[in-house]
Amino acid sequence: MNTAAKLGAYALGLAVVFGGALGVGRAVGPVAEPPPTQSHAAMTKAQEGHEGRKSEKSQEHGTPEQTSGDTPGGLQVSQNGYTLNPLTPIETGKATDFRFAVTGPDGRPVTEYQVEHDKKLHFIVVSRDLTTFLHLHPEMTPDGIWSVGLTLPAAGAYRAFADFAPTGGEKLTLGADLQAAGDYRPQPLPEASRSSKVGDYTVSLDGDLVPGRASKLTLSVSKDGEPVTDLQPYLGAYGHLVALRAGDLAYLHVHPEQSEKAGPQITFYAEVPSIGDYRLFLDFKHGDEVRTADFTVRATQGDATAAEPSAPHGH
Ligand SMILES: [Cu+2]
């Protein structure tokens, strides 16, 4: 993007922030303070003059480790002084240039991020019924406004997660609700299954989720019944796994095991905080295309009964 385009994008971002009809300006707070006609330099200068606006949040920020504790990620829109601010309304079923900002303890958009899994920020959108899953990689303007093409396919409640680590800070997953207007037909949680079909591919899952410890999960990819041994690297590994708890969409930490082998097996360690049902979404790349396999897994206390079919969920 050239400078003019960047400035244009920035102005557009501010225009969105200032769109009173959107009703987001107040939620965004300091992002919206400078008038949209000011240059970036002027904006920065203006904000520097506003020391009084720094909230108590920034004074408490010295010990971020204390506040994340054992609470799973993704349940809060604001944590450790960092806040996820959606800036664009959603139109159901329509492609949207969705914009958001992550503001830091000083109230300004965060612009410096650590690269994790090849990206500065991972943006995950799931429907509240856990049937739709999108894993996106937005682009950031120098001013810290993120944008990404987003289509919410059907009416309903969605949760958007920003998974990132600000430079000099700890890793965070913030979650915000997105609403797509219309006639909402929630789907029941898919039955527990150890196998997922996606196109010509079948992915099978071995391993159990055991609360309170790192659970080893091995996913095996086959195509037309043959093991796939030439998986392509995706986000610095041969697969990327997201795990969400049914009921509250807690977003869990999952670490890939570094492997030199391009399949058919991909191994992860997942830490689940409690018993219950979880949805796992595995992104893998083969034939230059990223596909997503999904599973429902029940975490039980301490033994291997998670492989049994799950009981009906009462709907
Ligand atoms: Cu990502």
Q: What are the structural domains, with CATH classification, of the chain?
A: 3-180 (2.60.40.10), 195-306 (2.60.40.10)
In which band, very low, low, confident or very high, does the pLDDT at 69 lie, cut at 50, 70 and 90? low
- Tell me the CA–centroid distance for residue 241 and ligand 1, in Å: 10
Distance (angstroms) between ligand 1 centre and the Cα of 70 equals 23
Could you tell me the end-to-end alpha-carbon distance of the chain, in angstroms, rounded to an integer? 50
Structural tokens at position 275? 């018993």
Q: How far is the CA of 39 from the centre of ligand 1 (A)?
A: 31
The 10s digit of each residue's pLDDT in 276-301 is: 999 999 999 999 999 999 999 999 88
171 Cα–ligand 1 center, Å: 14
Q: Element (H or E) spanning 8, and its range?
A: helix 3-18
Contact 312, 276 (CB under 8 A): no
pTM for the whole structure: 0.75
C-alpha of residue 299 to centroid of ligand 1, in Å: 25
Q: Are residues 132 and 158 in contact, defined by beta-carbon separation less than 8 angstroms?
A: yes
Residue 270 Cα to ligand 1 middle (Å):
17
Q: How far is the CA of 119 from the centre of ligand 1 (A)?
A: 7
246: left (phi over 0), alpha (psi -120 to 50) or beta: beta
Ligand 1 centre to CA of 188 (Å) is 26
pLDDT of residue 253 exceeding 70, the answer is yes
What's 42's DSSP letter?
A: H
Q: Taking residues 116-136, report their average pLDDT.
A: 96
Q: Bigger pLDDT: 42 or 119?
A: 119
Average pLDDT, the chain: 80
Report the half-sphere exposure of 195 (CA within 13 A, side-chain side): 6
CA 42 – ligand 1 centroid, Å? 33
Instruction: Indicate if the pLDDT at residue 41 is higher than 70.
Output: no
Q: How far is the CA of 203 from the centre of ligand 1 (A)?
A: 20
How many angstroms separate the alpha carbon of residue 181 from the centre of ligand 1?
26
Q: Tokens for 210?
A: 């055991």
Q: Are 175 and 84 a contacting pair, CB within 8 Å?
A: yes
pLDDT for the residue numbered 226:
96
Q: Tokens for 303, please give them.
A: 């033994």
In whole angstroms, what is the distance from residue 253 CA to residue 267 CA? 14
**For residue 236, what pLDDT is reported?**
84
Q: How far is the CA of 88 from the centre of ligand 1 (A)?
A: 20
**Interval between CA 151 and ligand 1 midpoint (Å):** 17
CA of 118 to the centre of ligand 1 (A): 8
In percent, how much of the chain has pLDDT > 70?
73
Q: Give 7 Cα–ligand 1 centroid separation in angstroms.
A: 26
Give the pLDDT score at 303.
Answer: 53
CA of 48 from ligand 1 middle (Å) equals 33
CA–CA dist 173, 162 (Å, integer)? 6
